[in-house]
Amino acid sequence: MNKTVSEALDFVNRLKKLVLGINDRHVVIAPPFPALYPVGAVLKDSGMGLAAQNLSGNKEGAYTGEVSARMLVDAGCTHVIVGHSERRTLFGESNEMVNAKTGMALQSGMRPIVCIGESLRERETGKTFDVIERQIKEGLNLIAAHDIGQLIIAYEPVWAIGTGITATPEQAGEAHAFIRQLMAELYGEGPADRLPLLYGGSVKPENIGKLMAQPDINGALVGGASLDVEIFGKIVTF
C-alpha cells in the first residue's frame, strides 16, 4: 500500500528509461488498484507487464470492496499476485481462497503469481517442506494440468518479508528445488521444468546475483526495494 497515482506514474516513467534495451528478462509492475489503469497506459508497448496485488475469488456480484478478474483485465493487467504472505497473515486468506483466486485469474487470461512460504516458527521446527507441500496441493488442487503453463510460483519465506533478513541462496535454492520436484510429481516433469519460480524476501541489489545463480530460481518478487526506482533498476539490470 504505497504510492499515489502520480507517484506511481513518475516511477514507471523513470523505470522505462533505466531498463531501456534490457531484453533478456521480463519486468512486471504491481501498483495499488487506483494506479492500475494509468500505469498500464504508460507501460503499453514497453514490454513490461502490469500486475494487480490481489483479486476476488468471485466472478461478480454483491461483494462490496472486492475487485474481479474481469475488472483487472479491463484495466490492462497481464498478471495478478495471489496469496501474498501479507494477505495470508493479515487478512486470513486460506489455501482454499488462494485456489479460487488462482482459478479466476487463469479463466480471465491473466498469469497468477501464486505466493507460498513458511513462517519462522515453521522453519525452526523443520516444517518448511510440509507447509510448502500443503500450500501447493490445497492452493492449486482445482487447477488443470494444461493451465500450469500460465502459472508462476513465488517462494517468499514469511520470516524474510520486510525484515531485512534474506534466506541464504542455498536455503532459497533448496526450497525452489523442492517446489519444482513437487510440481513434477503433480503435473509432470515437462511443465515443472518450464514453470517460472521466483524468490521473494528482502531482495536487493547486493544479493540478487547470488540468488539468481541458484539453478531453480528464475526471478524475484521484489518488495520494499522496489519502492525506490533507482534501487529497483539496479535489481532489474544486475
In order of start, what are the domains of the chain with their CATH numbers? 51-223 (3.20.20.70)
Q: Could you give the CA distance from residue 226 to residue 210 in angstroms, rounded to a whole number? A: 18
Radius of gyration of the chain (CA): 17
> Which helix (H) or strand (E) covers residue 210, if one does?
helix 208-212
Residue 167 in this model has a pLDDT that exceeds 90:
no
What is the model's pLDDT at position 90?
94
Please indicate, yes or no, whether the overall pTM of this predicted structure exceeds 0.75: yes
**Residue 84 a catalytic site member:** yes
Mean pLDDT over 27-46 rounds to 96
Mean pLDDT over 110-121 rounds to 95
The active-site residue, picked from 79, 84, 118, 176, is: 84
User: To the nearest whole percent, how much of the chain has pLDDT over 70?
Assistant: 100
Q: In the structure, what pLDDT confidence band is assigned to residue 161 with cuts at 50, 70 and 90?
A: confident
Q: In the structure, what pLDDT confidence band is assigned to residue 229 with cuts at 50, 70 and 90?
A: very high
The active-site residue, picked from 79, 122, 156, 176, is: 156
Q: In the structure, what pLDDT confidence band is assigned to residue 120 with cuts at 50, 70 and 90?
A: confident
What is the model's pLDDT at position 48?
95
